[in-house]
Structure 1
Amino acid sequence: MTRKPTRSRVKGASRPNPETPPVAQTLPAVLPQPKAPDNGGTVTVRETADPHPHAALDRSAMASIARLTGGISPHAIVDAWNDWAMHLARAPGRQLELIERAQSNWMKIAQYTVDALTGQKPAKPFQPGPNDTRWSHGGWDRAPFSIWQQGFLATHDWWDAATSNLRGLRRQNAERTGFMMRQLLDTVSPSNFPPGNPEILESTVRTGGRNLFEGAVHYADDLRHVLTQERRPVPESHALGKVLAATPGEVVHRNDLMELIQYAPTTGEVRPEPVLIVPAWIMKYYILDLSQHNSFIRWLVGQGYTVFCISWRNPGAERAELSLEDYRKQGVMEALEVINAIVPGEKVHANGYCLGGTLLAIAAATMARDDDDRLASVTLMAAQVDFAEAGELLLFLDESQVAFLEDMMWAQGYLDRPQMSGAFAAIRSEDLIWSRAVRRYYLGEPDLPTDIGVWVNDTTRMPARMHSEYLRGVFLENRLSAGRFAVEGRVIALKDIASPMFVVATEADHIAPWRSVYKTALFTDCDLTFLLTKGGHNGGILSEPGHPGRHYRIGHRPAGGHYRGPDGWLADHEPQPGSWWPEWARWLDAHSGVVVPARDPKAGAARGYPSLGSAPGHYIHQM
């Protein structure tokens, strides 16, 4: 195998490598980059003037506003509404269309009201969205509740039409105004008020008002946690290392950024090539090692593989200057160095999930550029390499919004995940915010812990510099697929990756939409297998064998094959019932060698990597 010179390996905390230039001398991904010249692709850094001393005052002021707005830029909101209003004002045809729609909706509601009040059972003219569970109670089929529901949905329908794309209106602003109007309307939904919600009224009568008392207790508890920013501990019923993240293994390496876990084998023989799992830094890794029945890592170990997984540190303000390059070098590359020492002479199957997949793609493209062929294969799960169609998260990102977030992170040193989780919840607010609020505060139902619910609440932080580089260089400016992303002063290209790839997308993913994930096929030339599975961003990946109602589609493109659009691919591949995990295992087996005796994680001590403690390690417990 062709390899770069081995860096000094680290036991415990990482040490600087004298051959590695300091961060200030490398090319940050966030700097504007000119086109690469023909002489080797070297990119020069454009000189920038030092900021004026008063710039800190501007950033402090913006950071103060950001804390009050939850990181949402007021300028972005005003700009979207101004753009929409000005274009609608000069469009008399759209105005007439909206007047006619209002009249039509009013007539439908009037007819429905008459029929409902005269004892008939008319068909409802307006239906809620597929994720809207607010109206599942049978009481919404009876007057007057059904009339109030239909009036609300008719208003929703009109505003969806009013904020739809308009000639000359920036598409992002059309989507933003529609999104903001939906959020505003949801605050006045009849389902949010006890007199207008039949389920709340029935529960209040049945319990003698106890549901409202218990809901008030829940509200007070939630309010206290919000005001104090107190983190809820993991409940004992889902204790980490005992119930969740309980797959046996050893921490074989630790530096200031990550721990590397090697899992104990459960089969007598294993494939010679080890597997490295790279999770996203926006989450704790145990989304892939939940309960025993749906642990992806435990299942993979049982398929006869030597499995390693990165557990990222939860950084605080003192690590604000960690960069995306640090995550590549001290994370992915250092993990490969350790695995190569523990399992010498074998290539590595690398698997990246979500943002970990994006980071893995960057690392793989860099390795390909540098003739480093240590990867046996690359698997990307719900991971994007192109962000032009990144879904509803684009609603929250433009130049104004990124600058606003950067000022907030500049002040506190990191972005706390609750500041991002609000954006994820708002995308499906009718289910993740309002339905939960009704159940918890009006029906008095407790939030019963589930494995994935515990993980969702176990939030992490992101260093200011790294997250700024990701938002600006990768997400907003989309440099990775545009051939303008530089690593160590030279651009990288995804088409250089020669290792076979397995790309997994999920049908209902609102974070990494499947058509966006599919574009990996557009920017690579290697042998590629694409699999589309039922479910969302997390649930689709956690699709263990035996999970009811699951299906997937799978297709193969040989190296150098022609690109097909996502809609054509979808039409040509029929769904197959069951979990996608065994399909991936068969693919891994086909790209692996003949089995060898299983490897004990503690055997790494003989090669300079003694156990630093049992899995799941120390970093997973950081609050």
Structure 2
Amino acid sequence: MMTQQGDFPEVHFPDAAAMSEAFGHIAEHGGHILAEAVNNAASHASAAPADPLHIADVAMAAARTVMANPFRLASAQTDLWFDCAKLWRNAARRAMGATPLPVILPDQGDRRFSNPDWTEVLALDSVKQMYLLWSRFLTQVIGDADNLEPHMAHKVQFHTRQMIDAAAPTNNPLTNPEVLRATLESGGLNLVKGLRHLMEDMDRGHGKISPRMTDFDAFKVGQNIATTPGKVVYQNELMQLVQYTPTTATVSKRPLLIVPPWINKFYILDLREKNSFIKWAVDQGHTVFVISWINPDERHAAKTFENYMLEGPLDALARIEKATGETSVNAIGYCLGGTLLASTLAYLSVKDGGKDKDRIASATFFTTMTDFSDVGEMSVFIDEEQIAGIEASMAEKGYLDGSAMAASFNMLRANDLIWSFVVNNYLLGKDPHAFDLLYWNSDNTRMPAAMHSFYLRNMYLNNLLAKPDALTLAGEKIDLRRIETPSFFLSAREDHIAPWKSTYAATQTFAGPVKFVLSASGHIAGVINPPSANKYCYWTGADLPAEPDGWLAAAQRAEGSWWPEWNRWVGERSDGEVPARQPGAGGLPALEEAPGSYVARRAG
């Protein structure tokens, strides 16, 4: 630890051999990047917009909102001046041995300033507090951007926070105490290694910077991740159907079908044995089938949301009947997979007079949006201009590159998912840790152009799924109000992708019986919370008032995982027991071992 009394680490000279090796790698990857840039420039001019997020428009709007309220600007400037003067006086007093209270403190839970040097070293403490004061000043000056229309106001606030996060002194090698220590102790080798990592990432990203979040070589799908035993028993152009090997002598008569999102890969539900929802469900006596979506390419450009319904859950229902003889299933949809499941239920309720609506006997929705009127911070990426830019980009290849979607999600938690890795990989020169969740998060999937355009415009932009008969799928106008299927909704209180108060809207829409459960934590940890971990908590409530806050006020809190609560609920809808079913032994032959080849296909 560095202190203001001069307890600095010993300075070391650079290791010549290590430096030479690092610079060799830098030159190699730099050559690749330059050659690719030249080839791309020579081959074609990109149709994608130069400013896909329309930051120039956001900057102009920010300037307008500042100038529109000079009194707020003057007040914020006065507050900043007095706070800075107090900070300078405190610094002088500390230099003379006093211990004044800080002018400003980081928010509780802000891990960027957890190193004790940020408090104990006078210069660093002053830099930290000055940054926090300027951050507060910018936030106050922008205010609620009340002179702008709500969507632009939200974009201004969001991108202001992105700028504030980027400017943090923790991201600067001259002011981050951990980086300063590493630089002195290694003779600067950490920065050279960091440059090597940067060039490797740019080479891997075809000129774009995408910090590695984990050790990509530490995991291999089907070997030490996604290892629950089973077989692929069917496949079509969009999906493979995986049936898992039972671990109990008898199983529930009604099979369980899981419909995961295709924005990410299904093995978030099967990371390791200790946190695998799929393995746990198998152990509870369910015959588990999972849809494994293909990672699409230009051949799938014309595949629509409708195709995902017809070739996904509807095709799976027919194949499960052939494999087990059962005409109905309990179904789970996760995130976008849940949106597809809700659409499928609405479609079945009207197709041929609803004769097949009981093919899905119960539906469970994990962090699922059906009403997109309030999508939280995701809305900053959704407007006509940005969607048009995305469509122009997709028109070139026939799909949206997975890295583009990942970058948007990462911006929602920039300090955790961007800047922490910039510091670790590029400033400290460290290799990222091997972490199964971050490996999955980095295993990007593409979006077919037709499907993604339909999804963005009809769900996010125009919210047609929530409007009666406004959306047509496979020739049928669908209405969520016709869904009579018993439904279990699981939402997460800190979800930044599917805000729980928005997911709650389905409780007021579906016609059938609904159970709503709220988990602690976020979009992933709130779902992947095995009972053995004994973490977090959840809330349940029998009444479903119109307002979500009213539901939470009356809800009962329970400690631990919600998984057993769901299993009791779905167990009441499992139609008895039968001898365990082996994959491949029924009407569908085994094609390959789980998790199958579709999920193993990586983008790029």
Structures share fold, TM-score greater than 0.5: yes
Of 48, 70, 86 in structure 1, the residue corresponding to residue 64 of structure 2 is: 86
Moved more, 487-496 or 393-402: 487-496
Q: Deviations over 1:273-298 (max 9, x none)?
A: 11100010111111111111111101
Matched, 1:140 2:140: no
SS at structure 1 position matched to 2:593: coil
Corresponding residue for 1:40?
none
Counterpart in 1 of 2:467? 482
Indicate which of 245, 266, 270 corresponds to 1:285. 266
Do the aligned residues in 2 keep the contact of 1:200 with 1:443 (CA within 8 Å)? Answer: yes
1:387 aligns with 2:372: yes
Q: Which residue is equivalent to 2:288?
A: 307
Is the 1:62–1:407 contact (alpha carbons within 8 Å) kept by the matching residues of 2? Answer: no
Pairing partner for 1:471 from 422, 433, 456: 456
> Which of 523, 539, 551 is the matching residue for 1:569?
551
Q: Is the 8 A contact 2:369 2:498 kept in 1?
A: yes
Q: Which residue of 1 aligns with 2:47?
A: 64
Q: Deviations over 1:354-388 (max 9, x none)?
A: 11111111001111223121111111101111111
**Which stretch of structure 1 is more off in the superposition, 611-620 or 541-550?**
541-550
Give the whole-Å Cα distance in 1 for the aligned partners of 2:447 and 2:592: 25
The question of 1:184 aligning with 2:163 is answered yes
Match of 1:555? 541
Q: Provide structure 2 residue ranges, at least 5 long, that are not aligned to the other structure.
A: 1-42
CA 548–213 in structure 1, closer or farther in 2 if over 3 Å, else same:
farther
CA distance 1:205–1:78, shift in 2 (3 Å):
closer
1:502-521 alignment runs, 5 A limit: 502-521=488-507
Contact 2:233 2:241 in 1 (8 A): yes
RMSD: 2.4
Shift of the 128–168 alpha-carbon distance from structure 1 to 2, 3 Å rule, reads: same
Q: Give, as a single letter, the amino acid of the residue that structure 2 aligns with 1:331.
A: G
Give the corresponding residue for 1:123.
101
Q: 1:128 to 1:62 in 2, by over 3 A?
A: farther
Question: Which of residues 589, 599, 602 is equivalent to 1:620?
Answer: 599
Does the CA-based 8 Å contact 1:132-1:431 persist in structure 2? no
Query: Counterpart of 1:457?
Result: 442
Does structure 2 conserve the Cα–Cα contact (< 8 Å) formed by 1:62 and 1:404? Answer: no
Q: Distance in 2 between matches of 1:507 and 1:115?
A: 44
* SS state at 1:277 partner: strand
Distance in structure 1 (CA, Å) of the matches to 2:482 and 2:435: 42
Name whichever of 210-219 and 488-497 sits farther off.
210-219
Q: CA separation of 1:125/1:505 partners in 2, compared to 1, >3 Å: closer, same or farther?
A: farther
Superposed CA deviations along residues 523-570 of structure 1, whole A, max 9, x for unmatched, are 22321111111222112111011224311111234xxxx633111112
Match of 2:405 in 1: 420
Alpha-carbon displacement from aligned partner over 1:423-443 (angstroms, at most 9, x marks no partner): 111122122211211111222
Whether the 8 Å contact between 2:48 and 2:392 is mirrored in structure 1 is: no
Contact kept, 8 Å, 2:146 with 2:153, in 1: the verdict is no
Deviations 1:568-602 (A, max 9, x none): 11222243111111111111112222211111111
Q: What displacement does 1:109 show?
A: 3.1
| Aligned-pair CA distance for 1:100 | 4.0
CA contact (8 A) 1:164 1:175 kept: no
* Cα distance in 2 between the residues matched to 1:378 and 1:112: 60
1:243 to 202, 224, 231: 224
Structure 1: stretches of 5+ with no match in the other structure: 1-59
Partner of 1:217: 196
Establish whether residue 351 from structure 1 lines up as the match of residue 343 from structure 2.
no
Q: Is 1:113 the counterpart of 2:94 in the alignment?
A: no
- The answer as to whether partners of 1:243 and 1:292 remain within 8 angstroms in 2 is no
1:492-537 CA-partner distances (Å, limit 9, x unpaired):
1112111111111112211111111112212223211111112221
Matched position secondary structure for 1:593: coil
Give the secondary-structure state (helix, strand or coil) at the position aligned to 2:444. coil
Deviations 1:54-107 (A, max 9, x none): xxxxxx9995343x44xx243xx3433444433443434434443444345434
Separation in 1 of the partners of 2:77 and 2:281? 58
Paired residues of 1:105 and 1:154 also in contact (CA < 8 A): yes
SS in 1 for 2:358: coil
The CA distance in 1 between the partners of 2:129 and 2:226, in whole Å, is 46
Partner SS state of residue 212, structure 1: helix
Counterpart in the other structure of 1:591: 573
For residues 234 and 319 of structure 1, the distance between their equivalents in structure 2, rounded to whole angstroms, comes to: 30
Percent identity of the aligned residues? 37
Q: Report the equivalent of 2:19.
A: none
Judge which range, 120-129 or 373-382, deviates more: 120-129
**Shift, 1:352, TM fit:** 0.5
Whether 2:565 is the aligned partner of 1:579: answer no
Corresponding letter in the other structure for 1:526: G
**In 1, Cα distance between equivalents of 2:136 and 2:94:** 21
2:387 aligns to what?
Answer: 402
CA 551–393 in structure 1, closer or farther in 2 if over 3 Å, else same: same
Q: 1:136 to 1:223 in 2, by over 3 A?
A: same
Q: Per the alignment, in what secondary structure is the counterpart of residue 498 of structure 1?
A: coil
SS at match of 1:536: coil
1:131–1:428: 8 Å Cα contact kept in structure 2? no
SS across alignment from 2:584: helix
Stretch deviating more after TM superposition (197-206 or 286-295) = 197-206
Within 2, Cα distance between the matches of 1:454 and 1:569? 36
Residue 384 of structure 1 aligns to a residue whose secondary structure is: coil
Deviates most, 217-226 or 244-253:
217-226
Cα gap change, 1:339/1:203 in structure 2, threshold over 3 Å: closer, same or farther?
same
For the residue of structure 1 that corresponds to 2:526, the secondary structure is coil
1:517-556 superposed matches below 5 A: 517-556=503-542
Distance in 1, matches of 2:109 and 2:457, equals 31
How far did residue 174 of structure 1 move? Answer: 1.8
**Deviation by residue 1:452-488 (Cα, 9 ceiling, x = unmatched):** 1211121110100100000001111111112222223
Deviation, 1:344, is: 2.2
What is the count of residue pairs matched by the alignment? Answer: 552
Kindly state the Cα deviation for residue 228 of structure 1 after the two structures are TM-superposed.
Answer: 6.2
Inter-partner Cα distance in structure 2 for 1:565 and 1:262: 40
Per the normalisation by structure 2, the TM-score is 0.86
Equivalent residue, structure 2, for 1:13: none
